[in-house]
Amino acid sequence: MIIHVCFGTRDLERAAPFYDALAAELGIGRSGENERSIYWANPGVGVGFAITLPYDGNPASTGNGTMVTIGAKDRDQVDRLHAAALAHGGSDEGAPGVRANGFYVAYFRDLDGNKLNVAAMS
């Protein structure tokens, strides 16, 4: 079972507001941070998501075919999360809508090019 997901970033201070906005819409906050990383999670559940400066000192890069999905409570929250991502510098990878699997989904990239989507399963 996955305990948390982590994306590399080139600039922690630049990336933080993007993820703070998504976390706020999901009702979660920062659960920890240090000079290299910031973590967000539901209290008592552990780390759910993190961004970090790569520990090897090389520039952060995106994985080809890598994507993280955020579960939304409903279609309205999908719309709000997509809008928050774009408002905080993210780029659109697919506007909110029903996809072939029947889920209501939106796709976007963060400021470092990492791909995310948000899905309402019903």
- The domain segmentation of the chain, as residue ranges, is 5-55+62-120
Is 110's pLDDT higher than 80? yes
CATH architecture of the domain with residue range 5-55+62-120: Roll (3.10)
pLDDT bucket at 101, cuts 50 / 70 / 90: confident
Strand blocks (E) in the chain: 5-8, 29-33, 37-41, 49-52, 68-72, 91-98, 104-109, 115-120
pTM of the shown model: 0.90
Q: Distance between CA atoms of 99 and 17, rounded to whole angstroms? A: 29
Of the chain, the percentage scoring pLDDT greater than 90 comes to: 82
What confidence tens digit (pLDDT) does each residue in 66-95 have? 999 999 999 999 999 999 999 999 999 999
What confidence tens digit (pLDDT) does each residue in 43-63 have? 777 668 999 999 999 999 998
Give, for 61, the enclosing helix (H) or strand (E). none
